[in-house]
Structures are given as C-alpha cells and as structure tokens.
Chains A and B, each alone.
Chain A
Amino acid sequence: MSKKILLSGNEAIAQGALDAGCYFYAGYPITPQNELISYMAANMPKAGGVFIQAESELAAINMVFGASATGTRAMTSSSSPGMSLKQEGISYIAGTQLPAVIVNIMRGGPGLGNITPAQSDYFQATRGGGHGDYHCIVLAPSTVQEAHDLMPLSFDLADKYRNPIIVLGDGMLGQMMEPIFVMRHASRVARKRITKKWALTGCKERNPNVIKSLYLKEGALEKLNLLLQKKYKIIKEKEQRYESLHLDTAEVIIVAYGIMARIAKAAVNKLRAKGKKVGLIRPITLWPFPETLITQILSGLHKKKHSPLFLVVEMSYGQMLEDVKLAVNGKAKVEFLGRAGGGIPTEEEIISKIKRIGG
C-alpha cells in the first residue's frame, strides 16, 4: 500500500532512506540540503534509529563509517563544500569496503561559491574524489519521486557491493516540492539489523572481526586493489542505468542528467512536436556511466543509417562531456552546452543550440 504526499526533494530522499531501513544518520547543516537533516532529526528517532548533528562533515562521515562498521544501514548528506570535507572518509569507506550512502545536493563552486543549483561536482563524484584508486556508485535522480525511489536501491547496492554510494542531486531538486508516492509505514523494510558476517558486534562465539584499510605486508595492498578493481568491473557490467527517449529515430541525442535532463526533456518534446528528430539519454548512474548504450547506438544495434550527433547539456563546464566523449570514442560528433555558478541552460538555449548545430 502506498499513499501520495507532498515533499521537497530533500525530504523525499530522507523518507526514501527511512523506507530503506536506514538506521543511522549524521549530518552537518549546509544549504541547499537543510530540509534533509531536519527531516531526519524529526523522523529518524520516531523510526527507532539514531540521528546525530555532527560537529563537522568530517565527523559526520566518520560516524557513518562507525555505524556501518557494525552492519547498520547508515547515511549522511551534504552540499558541495561539505562534500569536499567528506572525501577522506569516503576513501576510508571505499578502502575498508563498508556500505554507505552519501547524498550531495550540489551548489555552485568553487570555494564557498553560492547556493544556486549546479552540477559541478560530477568529477569529484565519478572519479573517486578522495585519495586512492576507488569508485563510488553514483546515482542521479531527476524528480522528487525518483529521489525517493533511488534510496532503497542505493542501500541495496551499498550492501551488495560493500561500497560507498553517492546520490547526486542539485539545489533545485533538493528544494522543489512535488507530490510523490511513498511506502506506507507498515510496508517499510523491517528495520532489523541485516546480519553481516564481517560487522563489529563483539566477538561472541566467533573470531574477532577487524575493519581496516591498512595493508603493510608486501603485496597485500596490491591484492586489495585488485579485488576492488574486480568489483568495479562487475559493477560496470551490471549496474549501468539510464532512461532514454526516441533513440531509434534521433539524429541529435541530448545527454543530460538530473534536473538538467528534465529541462532537456521539455526541449525534446517541443522539438519533436515540430518534427525534429531529437532524442535523449538520461544517465541514472553517472558511475558506472551508461557507456554500453552509447556503444550499441554507434555500432548500429539501433539500426541507424547515419551516426547521430550528441549534445551534452550540463550545469557545469564539460565534466560529463568527458564521459560521453570516452564512450563515443571519436565515432560521432559531440557538442556541448553548459553553464554553472547559478546559470542553468534553458529550454530555449537548448533549442537554439540544436538549431545551430544543425538538428
């Protein structure tokens, strides 16, 4: 059973986490994600879990590390400057192979930037962000409903792969309110602890468990790295997610994610109404990037005479563009439209860009 309620993106993410059986939240206030921490403060204790307002993002991510080390579903959230502080902790979480969900409601940067929506943390999220060879799985919702619905998936993926997950939204998604379906309390995932044999629970009737990322013996750290790489390869093969529109007939394919994809979708619909052959790829996973889809399009699996032209639209300056170019690998032309620091490419700008590039 489900019911429909009006929530902001930030609140929907928090509710989605509670629905997923998240039992621990720690965070530090920062705009534009403050509704998330407040929602958790109000609702996590009611759900029987632990809420802590941490003294900093550093403390918050390390609290998540601790909670997760006991086998508890744990998350934190922040916005861009706070995410920079969390990177050390995320690297430790990746190195110790702990599951964790980290939400970044992006704002304009660099530095203190401002609180307008942006997508400028794409590199930080998809490339690792902290030190060492690691990847987070990165999920990018584009509606308030999806922001809610991706949370249970995030916790499942985190547990399945013992890996940090980043949910990457932006200030607009975080703040906007939409009516969404949420699970009724009774149908929530039972908030009982999932048994994880590696978790720290006290060494009763078993050998002690250790959570660590330090490997000093010759070859031991390389072994861990090879194990991580093997895991990342499996994730790349199995977890690419996207939404697409009109790919079979598209001559111009817009690639956009999150809130930008919604604006792009409106542009696509307008252009389609005028008979223009425009399509859309909306990556839902930014890492792994849905490169297989692009490879398939270009290898003719979608039965096309001419290779389409790609237009990457971002609220940043050519970050996802690099992933599209890597996937296209020189086999098609890739154009770019992007603004950041408060500027959001508009429907009209997308339409006129498509006209200019010959769509």
Chain B
Amino acid sequence: MFHVYKAYPGDPPSLSDINLHVRKGEFVFLTGPSGAGKTTLLKLVFCAEKATKGQILVGGRNIARIRESAIPYLRRNIGVVFQDFKLLPHRTVADNVAFTLDVVGMPRREGMARVTQVLKQVGLEHKAGSLPLRLSGGEQQRVVIARALVNDPTILLADEPTGNLDPALTVEIMDLLCAVNVRGTTVVVATHDASLIARYDKRTVRLERGLIVADQDGAKAARRMAGAE
C-alpha cells in the first residue's frame, strides 16, 4: 500500500531512512518507545507533515510531491485516530463524528444514520448528544475511533487507540479494528502496549529513535513479545 523511504528533519531527525511496505488490507502494529517517531510516521502518511527526503506512495500515488489541493481528497480515504483526540469541545459527540461526513457533503439525514451506526459499534450510542468534555477519556477515545471509521476509509491509522481504555474495552476496540480490517481496510496501529501485540497475531514494526529496528510478521512478533513479558 505504501512504500516508504524517508528522513524527517528536526534537530536530530525524528525518522531516518525508513523503508516500509504495507500491503493493501494488511494489519500492522507500529511499536517502539515514546518519542521513537510513530506519530511522525503516521503524520507523513496523511500529509500532516511533509517528508524532507524520500518518496511515500499511498495507493500508488506519490504523496511526497502531492499538490496542496489534492491533499483533502487523499485524507478522505484515510481515517485517523489521533493520539490527542482532536475533538471539538462545543459540539456533541454526534456532531463531532458527523464532521467527517459534512466535509464530503453527505446530507445530514443520511449522515446521522451512519453516525448512529458507528456510535453503536463503539458502544456510545447513548452518548450521542453529550459534549466530549463530559465523557471519560476512554469514551472520548471511542468517539475519535468512530469519527475515523464513519466515512469507511480504505486506510485506518490509529495512534494509541487503546491508550485510555480498560482491558475489556481494549479487547472490544481491537476486535472492532480487526473487523474493519477483515472488511478490507488497511489498518496501522501505533502502540507501545506490548500485551496488545502479544495477544494479536499481527505484523509488527518496531521503531527506535527514528529507525526501524525490527519488522516481524504475526506469529514471530507475538512470540517475542510474549517472551519479553
């Protein structure tokens, strides 16, 4: 799906000489210690940051040289679960989720049906009318996931999607992400939760100080993580 060579600036480069290929429909864990560059890598993919060097292909398109005006259309195919949520405090949960649909011009009535459906998926249909600040951290996180999913993206980038969730909810959300993946969406999950990686048998890419130090497919990664624990 994307084909990445890049170095990223900053006084010490946050990412240097990354080569990564994720196939369409794959499920990948992106792991590594805090500050390793996981978020930065995801940002490059949806053009929130520009690569300083190298090529990034998304869906066959080179986004290192993408025109500014084409970025919005790229982003409509990428759902992003932001590490810092980025919810609008003065809008209801439903409005926050519907935001993604407004942008593509979906009529409100149709959009609301879709919103209700994804909120049900993340177990928040009863909170549709609440304001985000009135929700717990885990609930807010699920709103963000719902917003990322509502538009049926072909790629889902999730940055610590289970960071604030208890084990039971974590399982639920991970199952949801897996289900999305099974339907054909490419899913990349950034996390430093080793137990998560151990429990799910998926390809795992490990970043450290901006370098890829390991790239293992499902079974091996799970075994290694289980051993490390």
A and B: interacting chains: no
The chain B residues found within 8 Å of chain A, CB to CB, are none
